[in-house]
Chains A and B, each alone.
Chain A
């Protein structure tokens, strides 16, 4: 299974300042009570938005249609729920820039073809300030030599090599690749003691 290469994301940005924003806040657990991911986009940050009474960045008219989310440290910590990046994606987010990301959140984003790029604290805060002051700015985010450009300015970003290569080459949907190594999967299973000397009885 091949997927489309992702080389750039263009559009407006939306800033969501704050450290340690967890996946329970991105999508509260009650919206996980479903056997599909349908409808999640309506509920992204549901409780934070309700508490903000319409003044949450995700509700402000100037940010509607934004594609690049700009966050701070340890974004997406907590629960492994893939519903979190799915709800962001269904709202319209196609890439996330942050100071750092929680491990499972970042790997879930990769599985959805949603790049997570890192920036230095000053860089991220600078972008956030610009987005808040001029929400209409059109940005261009490139993955090769990761950079955000907008308003004749540019901000250097970084990405892990693995995700970067997988996104650029369109092989971020791993299933096909993993299944193509049938022989090697067999060999690995044969050398694992717990699958042979004392395998689980079925």
Chain B
């Protein structure tokens, strides 16, 4: 059993009671809600005549169903409008803060909570969305929950939980140019497998993680759930404090210093005990692409699609299913695979640094003939910051559409979706069958820079070759 880890400390601080059956009642410090998984929870509260216990600890936004083109109200899709209206009514009825479309702060819930300074070290964070693990980047214990649990948090600000084991995933060394946090995430999932994290919290540690900016850590923690780990986290450090300082909900004045002192004390102790430990070398990570129908079916961009005999026997049936669904042959290179749609955005990779990385590739180039390519900033704040430095113009000149914030084609609960058997290069998090809105649609997950590279070349491309070219053109502009 783990001791002295951040997970243990935060768990202990939030422990309300031991429940019959052995579960723990855990206090939830920050509750985030959105329009998809909350309406039924409010209905359940109403049925029982219950109110919201800590309305000041629940924050709402609208992200999954909003169109990324015309966001005028009422929304064109009556089902989407009904969900949005229900969220507005529920928030008004219960006195909850809602960052709606006219707030200037709306966006994907896992993008706006960090940028508002809501997500902080030492908190327990819950949201009816599996990618809540994102907030672990701040040294929070953050995890996704279902709708009945959303009801429980609204009613009691707590949840019945089983304590997880803790696995430290250490990544040492530095990343080569053209290799991004997304590649680290896909590499970890490929190495450990999509079920490895079931029953575990993942602590990401090592010099590679220490050198990462907060947005990179968010990308990595976001994908912890794709390894099966309900939460992933990074110990809070100066990088984290510098990010939080002066954010709207960050502590100020004398309480800032008290906060930093407390936050530092939460980091895992030097002699902490872990249930398991694994280590990887950052130097062996290269641009990574998925070839199959789970995020673990990933490969280096310069490898060939694995053949069944290269895989453990237990993984072969799923591989056969993936070859058929993806229409890829074992042994064929992934580089050069034609792509129909390129999507840059999502709670995994829709932040300013992601857009900068992609823009560096797009600049001075143009999307391939017949390619549909679009960029969806993760929030209104990301959109403003990107526009302030001209990224929207870079993308537009390169033939990418510049959209309004939302979850977009990550999960296709809005007009952005694949059609028929289209294949996408996507900076999102899931390549499941049908995930992007067409029951035959195919998804290749990769970093935003790799998506941009695929967009301009029309095929899956090793972005490292383009970054070298981009550097040359920077010193000697083509235009």
Return chain B residues, CB-CB under 8 Å to A165: 20-22
Output the residue of B251, B314, B321 with the most chain A CB within 10 A: B251
A residues 41-79 near B (Cβ < 8 Å) are 47-48, 50-51, 73-74, 77-79
- Indicate whether A162 sits within 8 Å of B21 (C-beta atoms), given known contacts A18-B321, A24-B430, A25-B434: yes
A107: Cβ under 8 A from any B Cβ = yes
Contact B120–A194 (Cβ < 8 Å): yes
User: Is A10 part of the binding interface, using a Cβ–Cβ cutoff of 8 Å?
Assistant: no
How many residues does chain A have at the interface if contact means C-beta atoms less than 8 Å apart?
Answer: 69
A80 vs B23: C-alpha distance when bound (angstroms): 20
Stretch at the interface among A97-105, A132-140, A144-152: A97-105
Known: A33-B413, A161-B21, A166-B21. A104 touches B144 (CB 8 A): yes
* Contact A181–B151 (Cβ < 8 Å): no
> How many chain-B residues does the 8 Å CB contact rule pick out?
87
Taken together as a complex, chains A and B put the C-alpha atoms of A104 and B145 apart, in Å, by 6
Given contacts A80-B129, A161-B21, A162-B162, contact A33 B118 (CB under 8 A): no
Chain B proximity of A15: nearest CB distance (Å):
14
Interface residues of B in 1-36 (CB under 8 A from A): 13-17, 19-23, 25, 27, 29, 36
Q: Given B65, B251, B262, which contacts A33 in the complex, CB threshold below 8 Å?
A: B65
Is the Cβ of B25 less than 8 Å from the Cβ of A24?
no
Instruction: List the B side residues contacting A111 at CB < 8 Å.
Output: 146, 148-149
Chain B positions within 8 Å of A36 at CB level: 39-40, 43
Residues of B within 8 A of A177 (CB): 19-20, 25, 160
Residue in A closest to B155 when the chains form the complex, CB atoms: A175
Contact between chains at A77 and B16 (CB < 8 Å): no
Partner of B251, one of A18, A48, A185, A198: A198
Q: Whole-angstrom distance from the CB of B110 to the nearest CB of chain A?
A: 12
Q: In the complex, what's the smallest C-beta–C-beta distance from A26 to chain B, in angstroms?
A: 10
Residues in chain A near residue B149, CB distance under 8 A: 107-108, 111
A160-191 interface code vs B (CB 8 A; 1 in, 0 out) = 11111110010100110111010011001101
Docked pose: A15 CA to B411 CA in angstroms: 28
Q: Is B86 an interface residue (CB 8 A)?
A: yes
Chain A residues in 8 Å Cβ range of B128: 80, 82
- For B162, the closest partner residue in chain A by CB is A162
**Contact: B259 with A193, CB < 8 Å?**
yes
Contact in complex: B40, A35 (CB < 8 Å)? yes
B76 within 8 A of A: no
- The verdict on A90 contacting chain B, using a C-beta distance below 8 Å, is no
How many whole Å from A4's CB to the nearest CB in chain B?
A: 16
The residue in chain A whose Cβ has the minimal distance to the Cβ of B27 is A188
What's the minimum C-beta distance from B252 to chain A, rounded to whole angstroms?
8
* Interface presence of B364 (CB below 8 A): no
Q: Distance (Å) between the CB of A34 and the closest chain B CB?
A: 7
Chain B residues with CB under 8 Å of A195's CB are 29
Contacting A175 at CB < 8 Å: which of B48, B130, B412?
B48
Residue of A nearest to B145 (CB): A80
User: Is the pair B21, A185 in contact by a Cβ cutoff of 8 Å?
Assistant: no
Kindly state the separation between the CA atoms of A112 and B146 in the bound complex, as whole angstroms: 10
Residues of A contacting B314 in the complex (Cβ-Cβ under 8 angstroms): 19, 73
Question: Is A29 in contact with B411, judged by CB distance below 8 angstroms?
Answer: yes
Q: A24-B430, A194-B120 are in contact. Are A80 and B144 (CB under 8 A)?
A: yes
| In contact, B194 and A179 (Cβ under 8 angstroms) | no
Does any Cβ of A come within 8 Å of B199's Cβ?
Answer: yes
Q: Nearest B residue to A33 by beta-carbon distance?
A: B79
Most buried by A among B23, B37, B82, B437: B23
Per the bound structure, the CA–CA distance linking A47 and B255 in Å amounts to 53
Q: Using Cβ atoms and an 8 Å threshold, which residues of chain A touch B130?
A: 78-80, 104
Chain B residue numbers with a CB within 8 Å of A184 are 16-17, 25
Q: Are A20 and B80 in contact (CB under 8 A)?
A: no
Given contacts A18-B317, A24-B433, contact A82 B411 (CB under 8 A): no
The interface centre, meaning the residue of A35, A47, A191 with most chain B CB atoms within 10 A of its CB, is: A35
Residue in B159, B198, B262 whose CB lies within 8 Å of A74: B198
Task: Answer yes or no: B318 CB below 8 A from chain A CBs.
Answer: yes
Q: Restricting to A9-30, which residues have a CB under 8 Å from any CB of B?
A: 18-20, 22, 24-25, 28-30
In angstroms, how far is the closest chain A Cβ from the Cβ of B403?
19
Q: Contact between B437 and A29 (Cβ–Cβ < 8 Å)?
A: yes
Query: Cβ of B156: which chain A residues have Cβ within 8 Å of it?
Result: 175, 178-179, 185
A181 to B156 Cα, complex, angstroms: 9
Residues of B contacting A162 in the complex (Cβ-Cβ under 8 angstroms):
19, 21-23, 160, 162
Give the residue of B65, B230, B434 whose beta carbon is less than 8 angstroms from that of A103: B230
Residue of B nearest to A163 (CB): B21
> A32 touching B36 by the CB < 8 A rule?
yes
Q: B432 contacts the other chain (Cβ, under 8 Å)?
A: yes
Residue of B nearest to A99 (CB): B195
Shortest Cβ gap from B34 to chain A (Å): 11
What are 15 pairs between A and B in contact, CB < 8 Å? Answer: A18-B318, A20-B318, A28-B439, A33-B83, A33-B413, A35-B82, A36-B40, A74-B228, A79-B411, A103-B198, A112-B148, A161-B21, A175-B152, A178-B159, A181-B17
Residues of chain B at the chain A interface (Cβ within 8 Å)? 13-17, 19-23, 25, 27, 29, 36-37, 39-40, 43, 48, 50, 53-54, 56-57, 65, 77, 79-80, 82-83, 86, 97, 118, 120, 122-123, 128-130, 132, 143-149, 151-152, 155-160, 162, 194-195, 198-199, 228, 230, 249, 251, 255-256, 258-259, 262, 294, 296, 314-315, 317-318, 321, 411-413, 430, 432-435, 437, 439-440
Give me the 3 closest cross-chain CB pairs, A-B, nearest first. Answer: A165-B21, A198-B251, A82-B146
